[in-house]
């Protein structure tokens, strides 16, 4: 489902915006591997993620944001969406500064395979 995948990527970009505040850089990289997998990386040079939080980063209601500024559902919901699509999502801190989230999803043979009713839905 394109909309679900878009939701995950947008959420990662919003999180990256919060991490870099008004200064910094956000990169989105897309690559294919063996014509079977697509890799989508959202990287920033913000504050990074404390090591103690890595084991809980995808848990429901876990947030590193101050009280009232985050629900702690974005990464958890995103993780579920990616897994339902046969993919994986990983996070790491970057060498210099910031964090990188990488989504790996299986490629479909064609867009018709993604949703056979798609053309009908547009009419």
Residues 82, 88 contacting (CB under 8 angstroms):
yes
Using one digit for the tens of pLDDT, what is the confidence trace for 18-48?
889 888 999 999 999 888 999 999 999 998 9
Residues 49, 64 contacting (CB under 8 angstroms):
yes
Q: What is the pTM of this model?
A: 0.81
How many angstroms separate the CA atoms of 105 and 107, rounded? 6
Using one digit for the tens of pLDDT, what is the confidence trace for 4-19?
999 999 999 999 998 8
Using one digit for the tens of pLDDT, what is the confidence trace for 64-101?
777 777 778 899 999 999 999 999 999 999 988 899 99
CATH 3.30.565.10 at 2-122, yes or no: yes
Percent of the chain with pLDDT over 90: 60
């Amino acid at each position: 489902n394109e909309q679900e995948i878009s939701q995950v990527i947008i959420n990662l970009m919003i999180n990256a915006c919060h991490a870099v505040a008004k200064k910094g850089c956000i990169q989105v990289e897309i690559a294919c591997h063996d014509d079977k997998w697509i890799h989508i990386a959202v990287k920033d040079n913000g504050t990074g993620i404390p090591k103690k939080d890595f084991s809980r980063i995808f848990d429901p209601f876990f947030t590193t944001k101050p009280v009232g500024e985050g629900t702690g559902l974005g990464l958890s919901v995103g993780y579920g969406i990616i897994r339902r699509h046969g993919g994986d999502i990983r996070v790491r801190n970057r060498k210099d500064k910031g964090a990188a989230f990488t989504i790996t999803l299986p490629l479909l043979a064609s867009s018709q395979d993604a949703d056979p009713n798609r053309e009908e839905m547009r009419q």
